[in-house]
Amino acid sequence: MRVVADLDLCQAHQMCQGEAPDVFGFDAGADKVTLLQEHPDESVRPQVQAAVRYCPAMALSIEES
């Protein structure tokens, strides 16, 4: 899987870090999410899916690759 973050949509709620802290970081200067892993292991798929679901800005998505 490939994780995609739309930085134009990100509103810095930081919900994603709570759901998947190994995958999502935060750039305090830019006030935007950062991707720590663009292609995370399948084992963290449930956490990434939760982050996608709970992002209030709907800025996150998963692409299958």
Where on the chain is the footprint of ligand SF4 (CB under 6 A)? Answer: 5, 10-16, 24, 33, 55-57, 59-60
Do 40 and 48 contact (CB within 8 A), yes or no?
yes
Question: Which of 28, 42 has the CB closer to ligand SF4?
Answer: 28
Do 39 and 64 contact (CB within 8 A), yes or no?
no
CB of 31 to ligand SF4, least distance (A): 9
CB of 15 to ligand SF4, least distance (A): 4
CB of 39 to ligand SF4, least distance (A): 17
Cα–Cα distance between 34 and 12 in angstroms, integer? 10
Furthest-apart CA pair in the chain: how many Å? 31
